[in-house]
Amino acid sequence: MKLGLGISEDLPVAVQQHLATHVEGAGFASLWTNEASGRDALLLCQAWAAVTTDLDVGVGVLPMWTRSPAQLAMACATLQEASGGRFLLGLGVSHPATMGPWHGATVERPLTASRELLTILAQLEAGERSDVDGEVLSSRRFRLTISPQPPRTRRYLAAMGPRMLELAGRLAGGTLLNWAGSDEVERAGGIVRGAAVSAGRDPADLEVASYVRIAVADERDAARIALGAQVGQYAALPAYAAHLERQGFGGAVERAKAAHKAGADAAGLTEALGDEVLDALGWSGTPQDDPAAMLATYRDAGLDHLVARVVVVGDDPFESIATVIRTLDAHTGGARR
């Protein structure tokens, strides 16, 4: 199982480049960012690639509505050329609550749109002219004129439900999971690999990756509360509430909603969620604590690529990221690629 690191994009580029060299030096396989309302994720991947030599650089996830398929294909090809084939692309539906007001984009028929986008990108990457007159996304008569052809981009489809997971197995290079316990990783991986076999693909060519939240601080309770606050934040979103309920955490979701309605602070929300859901969905501790058992649980569930998503504890994001790097570096013995 490969081990990567996931961080927020909201740090200065020069700071992020310093972190990228640190992450590579510690032996991690990859470094990932998300894209929300801060720095451009694709440009950050380019900045990371410019100061590293072996580190894979990825975005997870890029909303599929904010760039046209042709524009996204050009960006991916450019990043692959610049990085020597080290760019990883995670694509996701995102949320109507942000895509509409922020971008003027309409989130519609996500499964259909995902299938059309993956088809267009595959055509363009193969050097063909695009030929998809889709129900949601379209591109026709466009061809990449980049020579020589850069390496192909591994595309991960962010997925929670079975139909999106099946689509990842049929058309993507893998899936990127989020807020998934080890049982969910095993279930989702089975769907993705089974769909790949049905489509005549070798499941060994696909990668099941997942974000796993990691909170580390000198005070164990502070790390725990920071993790709980993030779980509670996502549990308030309908899609993620349903995702957690499918994993058997419906009781925790209801308790979190009640605590939030009652005005609970982060500590109260964490207490309402309970240890079962926190232990299943992430890891928290001090720099002296060993995350080996958590990592082994995911490895045994069939996860190919664990992306340790840093949970900021306190007011210093850089220090939180550095602490997580040091903790994982100290306890994983260099086996991260």
pLDDT digits (tens, 9 = 90+) for 149-172: 999 999 999 999 999 999 999 999
- The pLDDT value recorded for residue 8 is 87
User: Distance between CA atoms of 190 and 187, rounded to whole angstroms?
Assistant: 5
> Using CA of residue 66, residue 67, residue 73, residue 76, what is the dihedral sign?
negative
Which pLDDT band holds residue 10 (cuts at 50, 70, 90)? Answer: confident
Which pLDDT band holds residue 95 (cuts at 50, 70, 90)? Answer: confident
What's the mean per-residue pLDDT of the chain?
95
Q: How many domains does the structure of the chain reveal?
A: 2
Per the CB < 8 A criterion, the answer to whether 164 and 114 are in contact is yes
Task: Quote the tokens at residue 266.
Answer: 């982060």
Same domain, 34 and 169: yes
201-213: pLDDT as tens digits: 999 999 999 999 9
Residue 219 has pLDDT above 90, yes or no: yes
Same domain, 322 and 271: no
Residue 336 has pLDDT above 70, yes or no: no
Half-sphere exposure of 150 (CA within 13 A, CB side): 21
267-286: pLDDT as tens digits: 999 999 999 999 999 999 99
Q: What angle do CA 293, 295, 299 make, to 5 degrees?
A: 115
CA distances from 27 to 8, 53, 259, 272, 304 (A): 20, 12, 41, 37, 16
Same domain, 72 and 154: yes
Which pLDDT band holds residue 337 (cuts at 50, 70, 90)? Answer: low
Same domain, 301 and 165: yes
Same domain, 66 and 203: yes
- Judge whether 337 lies within some domain: no
Same domain, 162 and 59: yes
Same domain, 124 and 195: yes
List the one residue out of 129, 127, 172 whose CA is nearest residue 149: 127
Same domain, 86 and 212: yes
- Judge whether 10 lies within some domain: yes
Same domain, 95 and 123: yes
Per the CB < 8 A criterion, the answer to whether 39 and 81 are in contact is no
Per the CB < 8 A criterion, the answer to whether 123 and 130 are in contact is yes
Q: If you average pLDDT over residues 307-318, what whole number do you get? A: 96
Per the CB < 8 A criterion, the answer to whether 184 and 177 are in contact is yes
Q: If you average pLDDT over residues 178-207, what whole number do you get? A: 98
- Cβ-based neighbours of 127, under 8 Å, separated by 6 or more: 143, 144, 149
Same domain, 128 and 207: yes
- Judge whether 159 lies within some domain: yes
Q: Which domain holds residue 246?
A: 231-281
- Judge whether 336 lies within some domain: no
**Percentage of residues in the chain having pLDDT higher than 90:** 93
If you write DSSP's letter for every residue of 116-147 in order, what string do you get?
Answer: HHHHHHHHHHTTPPPEEE-SS-EEES-----S
Q: If you average pLDDT over residues 105-128, what whole number do you get? A: 97
- Judge whether 157 lies within some domain: yes
283-303: pLDDT as tens digits: 999 999 999 999 999 999 999
Q: If you average pLDDT over residues 99-117, what whole number do you get? A: 95
- Judge whether 270 lies within some domain: yes
Same domain, 138 and 260: no
- Judge whether 83 lies within some domain: yes
Same domain, 54 and 120: yes
Which pLDDT band holds residue 180 (cuts at 50, 70, 90)? Answer: very high
Which runs of E-coded beta strand occur in 120-264?
131-133, 138-140, 154-158, 174-177, 207-216
CA distances from 267 to 230, 232, 236, 273 (A): 12, 11, 16, 10
Q: What is the pTM of this model?
A: 0.96
Task: Quote the tokens at residue 286.
Answer: 């001090």
If you write DSSP's letter for every residue of 23-63 in order, what string do you get?
Answer: HHHTT-SEEEE--SSSS-HHHHHHHHHHT-SS-EEEEEEEE
- The pLDDT value recorded for residue 31 is 98
- The pLDDT value recorded for residue 333 is 65
- The pLDDT value recorded for residue 97 is 86
- The pLDDT value recorded for residue 128 is 97
37-60: pLDDT as tens digits: 999 999 999 999 999 999 999 999
- Judge whether 272 lies within some domain: yes
